[in-house]
């Protein structure tokens, strides 16, 4: 079984102050064992915490992992959301913040061949100030899974990113501005189980950086069955106890 595949990627950078950002009329790719994944970043022009949420076609998405970093007059948040078996019809992807943001970076992609029960494996985050490097280490990854990563900062010095251990699949930046967002993403398909190390390096040091990564397991990865996953009509066979009488 192969790792989940990436399909119909769409993304945008938003620079207008707002409480939400919308990727309009996104249509998930048709196919088997689908998951919609949204990598989102937002920056607040106040050194104070905020939250992010995401919906597709009005349906709430699940937050898999979040990284945060604050510095003088700024607060940065990077989150990865997912939705199992999304509608196949076009719908808006809306990322909403609890405060008015300076900007957003939003990326969406449909995975095919992904586990439909407990799809998230390993996760990791990294954040820091006055640095150009984000290091992510995902321990205990399964063979033939797919890792999606995201990193973000402000747009100071019009940054670009280079990735080690993963392949970049988006980079959204602009002219140098400390009041705007910039971000990049990458992916890696595992070929064996174990720890995966990924590094994102910014072209210049940033006042603040935040990065996050998630492993999405393939549809053949063994799953733990619970009562919720066993059909009421299924036949479950209990083990047979065998007793042997000892001589004498």
106: which strand partners? 12, 40
- Percent of the chain whose pLDDT exceeds 90: 86
Bigger pLDDT: 4 vs 233: 4
Predicted confidence (pLDDT) at residue 118 exceeds the cutoff of 80: yes
Residue matched to tokens 């066979």: 237
Cβ-defined contacts of 234-239 (< 8 Å, 24+): none
Q: Which two tokens stand for residue 171?
A: 């980079």
CB-based burial label for 21 (10 Å; 0-12, 13-18, 19+): buried
> How far apart are the C-alpha atoms of 122 and 115, rounded to whole Å?
14
Q: Which two tokens stand for residue 87?
A: 């509608």
Residue 87 is predicted with a pLDDT of: 96
Average pLDDT over residues 219-238: 49
Predicted confidence (pLDDT) at residue 225 exceeds the cutoff of 60: no
Residue 1 is predicted with a pLDDT of: 73
Predicted confidence (pLDDT) at residue 246 exceeds the cutoff of 80: no
Average pLDDT over residues 98-102: 97
Average pLDDT over residues 168-174: 96
Average pLDDT over residues 80-95: 98
Specify the length of the chain in residues. 248
Q: Which residues contact 48 (CB under 8 A, 6 or more apart)?
A: 70, 75, 99
Residue 6 is predicted with a pLDDT of: 98
C-beta atoms surrounding 67 within 10 Å: 25
Bigger pLDDT: 51 vs 231: 51
C-beta atoms surrounding 2 within 10 Å: 12
Instruction: Provide the sign of the torsion angle of the four alpha carbons 129, 109, 16, 204, taken in this order.
Output: positive
Q: What is the pLDDT of residues 52-67, one digit of tens each?
A: 999 999 999 999 999 9
**Inter-residue contact 95 to 77 (CB < 8 Å):** no
Query: Could you tell me which of 43, 101, 104, 122 has the C-alpha nearest to residue 75?
Result: 43
């Amino acid at each position: 079984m192969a790792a989940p595949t990436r399909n119909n990627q769409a993304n945008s950078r938003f620079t207008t102050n707002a409480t939400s950002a919308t990727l309009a009329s996104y249509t998930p790719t048709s196919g088997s064992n689908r998951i919609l994944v949204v990598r989102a970043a937002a920056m607040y022009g106040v050194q104070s915490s905020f939250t992010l949420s995401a919906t597709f076609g009005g349906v709430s998405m699940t937050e898999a992992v979040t990284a945060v970093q604050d510095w003088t007059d700024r607060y940065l948040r990077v989150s990865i959301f997912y939705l199992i078996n999304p509608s196949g019809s076009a719908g808006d992807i809306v990322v909403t913040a609890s405060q008015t943001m300076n900007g957003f970076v939003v990326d969406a992609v449909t995975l095919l061949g992904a586990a439909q029960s407990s799809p998230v494996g390993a996760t990791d985050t990294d954040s820091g100030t006055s640095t150009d490097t984000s290091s992510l280490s995902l321990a205990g990854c399964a063979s033939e899974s797919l890792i999606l990563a995201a990193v973000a900062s402000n747009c100071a010095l019009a940054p670009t990113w280079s990735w080690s251990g993963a392949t970049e699949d988006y980079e959204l930046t602009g002219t140098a501005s400390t009041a705007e967002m910039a971000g990049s993403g990458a992916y890696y398909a595992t070929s064996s189980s174990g720890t995966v190390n990924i590094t994102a390096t910014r072209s210049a040091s940033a006042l603040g950086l935040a990065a996050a990564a998630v492993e999405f397991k393939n549809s053949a990865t063994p799953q733990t069955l619970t009562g919720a996953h066993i059909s009421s009509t299924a036949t479950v066979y209990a083990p047979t106890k065998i007793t042997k009488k000892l001589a004498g």
